[in-house]
Amino acid sequence: MLLYVSILILVVLTLCFIIVVGVMRYNPWLSSDLAYLTNMTRLGIKLSRCETGKPAPYTIVDDFEKMAKKSPEKAFLIYEGRRYTYSEVNIIANKIANAAKRCGFKCGDKVALLFGNEPALIWTMIGFAKVGVTCALLNFNLRSQSLLHCLDVSEASTLVVGSGENQHASFKEILPELAKRKLVIWQQDSTGNFPDIVRALNKVDIPINEADDELDMPRDVRKGLKFRDPFVYVYTSGTTGMPKASRLSHKKMMAGGHMLRRCGVTNEDVFYITLPLYHVSALFIGLSNAITAGSTVVLRSKFSASHFWEDCLKYEVTVIFYIGELFRYLLATPLSPEEAENKVRLAVGNGLGGDIWAEVQNRFKINKIVEMYGATEANFGIMNTENKMGSVGRWSPLLAKLCPIELIKYSYESAQPVRDERGRCIKVKPGEPGLLVCPVSKLFPLEGYVGKKELTEKKMLRNVFEEGDVYFNSGDLLMRDKEYYLYFKDRLGDTFRWKGENVATTEVSQTICEIIDVLESNVYGVSVPGNYGKAGMASLILKANTVFAPQKVYDHVTGRLPNYAWPRFIRLPTTMDHTSTFKQMKSKLVQEGFDPCLVKDPLYVLDQKAKTYIPLDQEVYAKVTRGEIRL
């Protein structure tokens, strides 16, 4: 009998092994898929419990108050050498909440915040959230009409201005216009008090009872708050048109706060945030994860390449956040002992080019880089937790069945997706760039923009694969390889067409940056008289103590890129304009083009006869416009 049982067990185990091997052959990523789905299921259960909380949903505010009780003396913020404990920040936030409540603020109201990267922004945001008020996080780098536009879109009745110097120039510039808007303005000092209301516009008395104001607000103050109500408004960069305000709900903020658990983040970690807090990378990924994990945040007013690793070593930082060109600036700094001795083990962000990935990881000794893909207004996000160089993450067939993220063909002539004879979109093949789209559903809702519905509607694609379906249009081109890893290729607004081919500016830029003399490359398309489409032009920032080598650049780009992607023009500015989130600005460069009368920087044009780049002066410019130099 025992023999038969043993044989039966052996047969069952053998069958299980065969099944597992068969499944793994079909889906070799099964184990990581199951781990991902397990994490998402746990998160879904947690969010469901948060949503049904009484008398109001359990939000990031409740998590913060919980940490203030559990570890009151633990450092939450470190700013310019000053340490603020969880308890200290919670007390200041409570004072702001109580002051706001006595001034008539209630759940559902909106307030605009104009702060630099300073602790006051964090406790003010938390303080108003304790009352259920939505904060519009204004970009203090914006000026004049752009800043006023963001303020108007928020529908805020009150503007709170921080004590830092960063936003003062912007604030003073719009003061005359603010007077016409009947707006209540509070000026906050560095301690969280409001001693100096802007008296030129209004006078508001904010009574404070010190003893009571230090206590947490009762949760029933937020009664009526819904989990999908906005926690904050976060604005897009406005690289095309005016900035748009996106809703970042309490649910999304709470979900974001658990993203880095997959990377082993705990309350022992120290985060280093140099990115602006009004941006999702710092707020939605950085701050939210710090609060839910109970970690410490080292906050800096602005990014400094020369002090980056010095700070990391000084404060024993373990997690850093990056975006766009940030790592290129760090690579351009001289080698230092601090970058080798620091304790950073995890870097999280987006925009790390595949051309410098290995150099970043090797030079700075970072164990894990988590490259992410998402958008401020998107209803989905992808994470590369496997250190796959250059990838933003993997989306296997199993995950695609649960959330059918797709890459579809796109027409640059019509600026619309390509559709077949049935009017349906066409999926691209592996290795072919395509427009990334994600279904909009109850499981993946689109919170959309604040204001006119047509702003959100423009991001929708309808009848994509079936009648009546709705997809979010990311506006980004990605490529999927045969192992289902996704790679960011370009933004539709950046891609241009030359000689009947589509040129991805990101690919060209990364190729040029492989040249050792080049620190940064900004690629865009410019119009050339007598030519269809736009010719490629690259603005290059050279590394210190180097000179432009036309022959080297020509040999490099012609050896690594197809003819249509070769930059026809080179510009050598001394500085490069960026948004506050390190996105390269192109509009002014495109407008100036390659005209030596408009451009005072050195210019070069590609000469295919001479097989090099030659200086572009007024005489050569005339030849180009007359078609005498073949592009």
Mean pLDDT of 496-519: 81
pLDDT at 262: 85
pLDDT digits (tens, 9 = 90+) for 371-421: 998 877 778 888 898 889 989 999 888 888 877 889 999 887 677 899 999
pLDDT digits (tens, 9 = 90+) for 610-627: 899 999 999 999 999 888
pLDDT score of 205 more than 70:
no
Q: Which residue would you say has higher pLDDT here, 84 or 499?
A: 84
Q: What is the dihedral of CA 435, 469, 250, 121, to 10 degrees?
A: 30
pLDDT digits (tens, 9 = 90+) for 206-219: 555 566 677 788 88
Closest CA to 110 of 139, 58, 152, 59: 152
pLDDT at 75: 96
pLDDT score of 144 more than 70:
yes
First-to-last C-alpha distance (Å) of the chain: 86
Of 116-120, 401-405, 471-475, the least confident: 401-405
Could you tell me the pLDDT band of residue 17, with boundaries at 50, 70 and 90? very low
pLDDT digits (tens, 9 = 90+) for 300-347: 998 999 999 999 999 999 999 998 778 888 988 899 988 888 899 999
Does 615 sit behind a cis peptide bond, omega within 30 degrees of 0 on the bond before it? no
Q: State the angle between helix axes of 119-129 and 86-102 in degrees (0 to 180), rounded to the nearest 10.
A: 50
pLDDT at 211: 64
Closest CA to 282 of 292, 270, 273: 273
- Mind giving me the DSSP string for 486-552? EEEEEETTT-EEETTEEE-HHHHHHHHTTSTTEEEEEEEEE--TT-SB-EEEEEEEEPTT----HHH
Closest CA to 583 of 328, 368, 384, 413: 328
CA distance 320 to 506: 24
CA distance 122 to 375: 22
pLDDT at 474: 87
Q: Output the CA angle 535-540-545, nearest 5 degrees.
A: 155
* All residues at 6 or more sequence positions from 489 whose CB lies less than 8 Å from its CB, including other chains: 433, 476, 477, 478, 479, 504, 506, 507
- Calculate what percentage of the chain has a pLDDT beyond 70: 89
pLDDT at 601: 93
Mean pLDDT of 55-64: 94
Q: Which two tokens stand for residue 39?
A: 């994490």
pLDDT score of 36 more than 50:
yes
Map residue 376 onto helix, strand or coil. coil
Map residue 320 onto helix, strand or coil. strand
Q: Which residue would you say has higher pLDDT here, 482 or 195?
A: 482
pLDDT at 200: 35
CA distance 402 to 405: 9
pLDDT digits (tens, 9 = 90+) for 575-588: 888 776 667 778 78
Phi, psi of 298 (to 5 degrees): -95, 115
pLDDT at 199: 40
- Calculate what percentage of the chain has a pLDDT beyond 90: 39
Exposure string over 239-250, b if 16+ CB within 10 A, otherwise e: eeeebbbbbbbb
Longest dimension (CA), the chain: 99
pLDDT at 532: 65
pLDDT at 176: 81
Residue type for 627, please?
G
pLDDT at 581: 65
Q: Whole-prediction pTM value?
A: 0.79
Q: State the angle between helix axes of 168-179 and 144-154 in degrees (0 to 180), rounded to the nearest 10.
A: 70
pLDDT at 203: 43
Could you tell me the pLDDT band of residue 492, with boundaries at 50, 70 and 90? confident
Residue ranges in 271-424 assigned as alpha helix (H): 280, 288-293, 308-314, 326-331, 337-341, 357-364, 397-402
